[in-house]
A = this chain, B = another copy of it.
Amino acid sequence: MMTPTESQQVLYSIGAVERDTGLTKDTLRVWERRYGFPTPLRDLHGERVYSHEQVEKLRTLKRLLDRGHRPGRIIDRSLAELVELADAAPAQAAAGELAEPLHALIALVRQHRVAELRQELGQAVMRQGLAGFLTDTVGPLNRAIGDAWMRGQLEIFEEHLYTETMQSTLRGAIASIPQHGRPPRVLLTTFPNEQHHLGLLMAEAMCALEGATCVSLGTQTPIFDIVMAADSHRADIVALSFSAAYPAVQVADGLEELRTKVPARVAIWAGGTNAGLQRRAIEGVRVIGGLAAVGPAIADWQAATGVA
């Protein structure tokens, strides 16, 4: 058996750190030059070699950047201080009073009781109805899971497990919604580099529930292909999902580019937890503020187009 110290003797190349943290090699090198962190060792050939601890701190930094923090302000703090910072943030937005059932679900994730988790989620759909499940369970649960992960209360693989299980649940639920082929026809996808599939599935479920005809392209469709797909499927609405981690610049740029390339008769809707959506309004793009706003938006569309 190895001691903890020995087992932590894991070293990462700059390429490995890029993969694990989502920070590019350029950024890693320029941070080292500017801020003096990280401070990788060098191997025989003079190449950077990162310790497990540094990678851990880099991952936490990345999460905080996604929340709007700036590297220069926080990079000097210790990992413990960063975690504290992460803890403080969600407290503002109604943290403590997580509903009891949610705690139970999180507990199942942390205890790796997959079969029970799957069953509980399935039963919750039945109990609350899909719409209630989405707004009252999935939404808050996603946030709680993300927070727990950042606080170090949840490992990455536990988050993966949750995501995978929830994906199955949602797909099962979506498959059980009868599709009549009635308008509006909604095309759902995300921009390249946006991998968050759960948000997309939630949107798809919500639209299908409201009687729309949904076609999902999955995640990461190049803009030019979204345009072609909207045309091919004669979509009435193109719906995009943006997670918190997606760069705000690319949200605005992408939506503007998409708006110019897609015919005006096709509506563009954007939703998700991304902060950039609230900041600057984009002409001809409707921002959907949460799942509850999907129903009214579809009602608006039907009213505007005179569909019975």
Main secondary structure of the interface of A (DSSP, over half): helix
Most chain B beta-carbon neighbours within 10 Å: one of A160, A167, A172, A192: A160
Q: In the docked arrangement, what's the CA distance between A215 and B109, Å?
A: 13
Size category, A interface:
35 or more
**Is A115 interfacial (CB-CB < 8 Å)?**
yes
**Is A221 interfacial (CB-CB < 8 Å)?**
yes
Residues of chain B within 8 A (CB-CB) of A95 are none
**Is A33 interfacial (CB-CB < 8 Å)?**
no
**Is A20 interfacial (CB-CB < 8 Å)?**
yes
- B192 x A161 contact (CB < 8 A): no
Which candidate, A227-235, A265-273, A285-293, A296-304, is the interface stretch facing chain B?
A227-235
Residues of chain B within 8 A (CB-CB) of A160 are 189, 217-218, 221, 225, 229
**Is A171 interfacial (CB-CB < 8 Å)?**
yes
A222 and B156 contact, Cβ closer than 8 Å, known pairs A179-B115, A192-B19, A232-B112: yes
Of B19, B164, B218, B226, which is within 8 A of A164 by CB?
Answer: B218
Of B19, B167, B229, which is within 8 A of A193 by CB?
Answer: B19
Residues of chain B within 8 A (CB-CB) of A226 are 157
- B215 x A114 contact (CB < 8 A): yes
Residues of chain B within 8 A (CB-CB) of A232 are 112, 157
- B218 x A167 contact (CB < 8 A): yes
- B218 x A10 contact (CB < 8 A): no
Query: Using an 8 Å CB-CB cutoff, how does the interface string of A138-179 with B read, 1 for contact, 0 for none?
Result: 000000000000000001110011011001100110110001
Shortest C-beta distance, A17 to chain B (Å), equals 11
Q: In the docked arrangement, what's the CA distance between A168 and B172, Å?
A: 8
A1-49: which residues lie under 8 A (CB-CB) from chain B?
Answer: 10, 19-20
Residues of chain B within 8 A (CB-CB) of A54 are none
List 17 extra interface pairs beyond A20-B222, A156-B221, CB under 8 A: A19-B222, A112-B233, A114-B215, A157-B217, A157-B221, A157-B225, A157-B228, A161-B215, A163-B218, A164-B216, A164-B217, A164-B218, A167-B171, A168-B171, A168-B174, A168-B175, A195-B195
7 nearest A-B pairs in the assembled complex, by CB-CB distance: A157-B229, A157-B225, A160-B217, A164-B218, A19-B192, A156-B225, A112-B232
Residues of A near any B CB (own CB < 8 A): 10, 19-20, 52, 112, 114-115, 155-157, 160-161, 163-164, 167-168, 171-172, 174-175, 179, 181, 189, 192-193, 195, 215-218, 221-222, 224-226, 228-229, 232-233
